[in-house]
A and B are shown apart, each in its own frame.
Chain A
Amino acid sequence: MLEKAFEGSKKYWAWIFFLGALALIGIYYYLQQFMYGLGITGLGRDVSWGLYIGQFTFLVGVAASAVMLVIPYYLHDYKTFSKIVILGEFLAISAVTMCILFIMADMGQPMRVMNVVLHPTPNSVMFWDFIVLSGYLALNLLIGWVTLGSDRKGVPPPKWIKPFIIVSVPWAFSIHTVTAFLYAGLPGRHFWLSAIMAARFLASAFAGGPALLIILSMIVRKISKFDPGKEAIQAVGKIVAYAMFANVFFLGLEFFTAFYSSIPGHTDSFKYLYVGLDGHHELVPIMWTSSVFAVISLVMLIIPAARKNEGSLVLACIMLFISLWIDKGFGLIIGGLVPNPLEQVRTYWPTMPETWITIGVWSIGFLILSMLYKIAISVREQTAGVEIEH
């Protein structure tokens, strides 16, 4: 099937080369970082994690969100998702790959990464994150490849794949729960030290990931003969609406606990992000952008007429995606590290090389995604009209 990724129209190749060029710029800056050190970024002694770890956290959510299609389709036999589910699985593969690349980009000594395996340390959440992420990548590669391969031959997927599919469901929950535990178990980081962190992570993931999938499905439908289905997109829209409601609700719970208790350690990070602290307001505009987009998109998703209109559905999904990207890909990490343990406000903003490396990783992710989708679309275009019993 792989050959299908290498045969395409001029437009397809133009897109591939465009992404490849962005990836090369990213690699160029990464080599600079490799030689010079992470001092090339805007990170420092106080804000020691930033854009890279934020992207990693956000993308773990995108990867986990495939489960929102897998559960209805494989566990509840919801046939409407028969075509779209492969798009979710392939999105997960690309997202996990980006997660791994962002972790590598963030490491001070990337050549020593195998130390995590050579000296396994079960008391470290990062050790478990390493295990669940690699496992999830393997599961999705296997499931996506086997089901699509059967589809091409017009036969139902082999029975032995079913246990893997069932395991992938709790596994998806585990990747985002473990990622939340990276933050939620640290004494002295009040902003992260919250029992609802994992639940919040899952809610935002199940909103943001499927929202991206709706956008991607619309694009796929426009540029190819493959149609994931209007009904399927509408059903995903409802999932996004519920998950986003839960996400906004959970964020509200955090605000309540912080501000009603009025414990300074718990309110300081929120103040820094939303109104500014000690004269530092750098992140206030983007955090409010996130909040306003969250509310508007949620309202649009709740009102049936707006959700059923595909134009406004896509608009809502784009706003929602941007909102969650800011909230989780940036604010969540920086907010946890400001103020520092000595209650000083030290600020952070990504540098140019850091931004290019980030764009480079996203480009590699989209390159993988485009090729995988190309394969899926080619197979599906050929089998269009053939009813497949899963």
Chain B
Amino acid sequence: MSMDRRQFLKIAGISSILGFGASVANATHPIWVKGLDPSQVEPNKETLTAKRWAMVVDMSKFKTDEDFKKTIDACHLTHNVPDFRNPDGSADTRHEIKWIWKAAYENAFPGQPNRFMDEHLKEMPFLVLCNHCDNPPCVRVCPTKATFKLPNGITMQDMHRCIGCRFCMAACPYGARSFNWVDPRNAIKPEAENKEYPTRTKGVVEKCTFCTERLQFGKMPACVEAAPKGGLVFGDVEDPNSEVRKIVSTRLTVRRKSELGTGPAVYYLIGGSDHA
């Protein structure tokens, strides 16, 4: 469409009198649609996409406390997860916020240990996080759709819509959700704050997002990057050629409380492997 300045001003003037300003600014749109036309934007070519994101956790790759700490810190620092401490320095288990953390085998997989099992096996640490279930109870119960499924399988949270009813916390069988009992900003060290990621307000529920915000820019989840090589494998489980798919189809893996029908997307590899 070509028009000179005079013509443009004429149409714009009449249109704005009629209240149709948007239709002039973007002439190809019907008047009730505002914003950019799809032809005006291009998808970010770096964005990592998948039909169904999933993760394999290979605990055999985590050998030292440092391995765990690096992985957990990478997540918690990236996402400005506050660190609530008791006066004596121990973790404040009532107010703490956890996206990914260490749980003993007997806690991560209740009912699994036998009574002869050595104490150190029962206490063997496992990394646990949101399972981004196929059929998530948290999404089912949320009264405002503040937690919802993305088409790529990720269970997301809208911090601005959450009313803080904590129904999702009661519904999650994995204890993956944390509530901001007090203002979390006071428990984030100013020098450690990641300005790239928003902090939260008090009174909302949060959890792991499989680093949706990093995938958009072509980066793997922070924990996957920081974990020992092959410790956390992340990919599209629907893609037959992906590494996660190869592991879950050919190796013995278990998922937490899969008998509940939630369809967890975090798989724990039994016995370790040389996959990476």
The one of A37, A110, A119, A341 in contact with B175, judged by C-beta atoms closer than 8 angstroms, is A341
Contact between A39 and B111, CB atoms less than 8 A apart: no
The one of B110, B111, B142 in contact with A124, judged by C-beta atoms closer than 8 angstroms, is B142
Q: Is B2 an interface residue (CB 8 A)?
A: no
Q: Is A387 an interface residue (CB 8 A)?
A: no
Q: Give the interface centre of A38, A43, A49 by most chain B CB atoms within 10 Å.
A: A38
Give the interface residue-count category, chain B: 35 or more
Complex CA distance for A166 and B275, rounded to whole angstroms: 67
Q: Is A234 an interface residue (CB 8 A)?
A: no
The one of A108, A182, A264 in contact with B164, judged by C-beta atoms closer than 8 angstroms, is A108
Contact between A126 and B165, CB atoms less than 8 A apart: yes
Given A44-B95, A46-B93, answer yes or no on A130-B143 (Cβ-Cβ < 8 Å): yes
Q: Is A219 an interface residue (CB 8 A)?
A: no
Contact between B170 and A119, CB atoms less than 8 A apart: no
Task: Please give, as numbers and ranges, the residues of chain A lying within 8 Å of B193 by CB-CB distance.
Answer: none
Q: Is A160 an interface residue (CB 8 A)?
A: no
Contact between A37 and B103, CB atoms less than 8 A apart: no
Contact between A186 and B182, CB atoms less than 8 A apart: no
The one of A112, A121, A337 in contact with B145, judged by C-beta atoms closer than 8 angstroms, is A121
Complex CA distance for A336 and B167, rounded to whole angstroms: 13
Contact between B178 and A37, CB atoms less than 8 A apart: no
Distance of A185 from chain B, by nearest CB (Å): 8
Distance of A82 from chain B, by nearest CB (Å): 40
Contact between B170 and A49, CB atoms less than 8 A apart: yes
- 1/0 contact trace for B188-222 toward A, CB 8 Å? 00000000000001111100000000000000000
Q: Which of B59-102 contact A (CB under 8 A)?
A: 93-96, 98
Task: Please give, as numbers and ranges, the residues of chain B lying within 8 Å of A182 by CB-CB distance.
Answer: 167
Q: Give the interface centre of A103, A110, A188, A343 by most chain B CB atoms within 10 Å.
A: A188
Q: Is B23 an interface residue (CB 8 A)?
A: no
Task: Please give, as numbers and ranges, the residues of chain B lying within 8 Å of A125 by CB-CB distance.
Answer: 141
Contact between B167 and A187, CB atoms less than 8 A apart: no
Contact between A124 and B143, CB atoms less than 8 A apart: yes
- In the complex formed, the residue of B with least CB distance to A193 is B260
Task: Please give, as numbers and ranges, the residues of chain A lying within 8 Å of B201 by CB-CB distance.
Answer: 109
Contact between B171 and A186, CB atoms less than 8 A apart: yes
Contact between B179 and A38, CB atoms less than 8 A apart: yes
Complex CA distance for A121 and B94, rounded to whole angstroms: 30
Complex CA distance for A45 and B205, rounded to whole angstroms: 10
Contact between B170 and A126, CB atoms less than 8 A apart: no
Contact between A39 and B146, CB atoms less than 8 A apart: no
Q: Is B253 an interface residue (CB 8 A)?
A: no
Distance of A30 from chain B, by nearest CB (Å): 14
Contact between B137 and A187, CB atoms less than 8 A apart: yes
Given A39-B182, A121-B145, answer yes or no on A48-B203 (Cβ-Cβ < 8 Å): no
Contact between B202 and A37, CB atoms less than 8 A apart: yes
Task: Please give, as numbers and ranges, the residues of chain B lying within 8 Å of A112 by CB-CB distance.
Answer: 144, 161-164
Task: Please give, as numbers and ranges, the residues of chain A lying within 8 Å of B204 by CB-CB distance.
Answer: 108-109
Complex CA distance for A100 and B216, rounded to whole angstroms: 41
What is the interface of chain B mostly: helix, strand, loop, or mixed?
A: loop
- 1/0 contact trace for B119-157 toward A, CB 8 Å? 000000000100000000100111111100000000000
Q: Is A296 an interface residue (CB 8 A)?
A: no
- In the complex formed, the residue of A with least CB distance to B110 is A343
Given A341-B172, A341-B174, answer yes or no on A38-B181 (Cβ-Cβ < 8 Å): yes
Complex CA distance for A130 and B143, rounded to whole angstroms: 9
- 1/0 contact trace for A25-67 toward B, CB 8 Å? 0000000000011110011111011000000000000000000
Given A116-B143, A116-B144, A346-B93, answer yes or no on A124-B167 (Cβ-Cβ < 8 Å): yes
Q: Which of A341-374 contact B (CB under 8 A)?
A: 341-344, 346
Given A44-B95, A107-B203, A108-B165, answer yes or no on A124-B141 (Cβ-Cβ < 8 Å): yes
Distance of B269 from chain A, by nearest CB (Å): 20
Complex CA distance for A337 and B177, rounded to whole angstroms: 14
Q: Is A9 an interface residue (CB 8 A)?
A: no
The one of B128, B170, B171, B181 in contact with A44, judged by C-beta atoms closer than 8 angstroms, is B181
Contact between B108 and A342, CB atoms less than 8 A apart: yes
Task: Please give, as numbers and ranges, the residues of chain A lying within 8 Å of B183 by CB-CB distance.
Answer: 37
Contact between A109 and B164, CB atoms less than 8 A apart: yes
In addition to A106-B166, A110-B163, A187-B173, 5 A-B residue pairs with Cβ atoms within 8 Å of each other are: A109-B204, A264-B111, A340-B175, A341-B175, A343-B110
18 A-B residue contacts at CB 8 Å? A37-B182, A38-B202, A42-B94, A44-B95, A44-B181, A45-B95, A48-B179, A108-B202, A108-B204, A108-B205, A112-B161, A116-B143, A116-B144, A126-B141, A183-B170, A189-B171, A342-B110, A343-B107
Which residues of A approach B to under 8 Å, CB–CB? Answer: 36-39, 42-46, 48-49, 103, 106-110, 112-113, 115-116, 118-119, 121, 123-127, 130, 182-183, 186-189, 264-265, 336-337, 340-344, 346
Shortest 5 CB-CB contacts between residues of A and residues of B: A108-B164, A188-B173, A108-B203, A44-B94, A39-B181
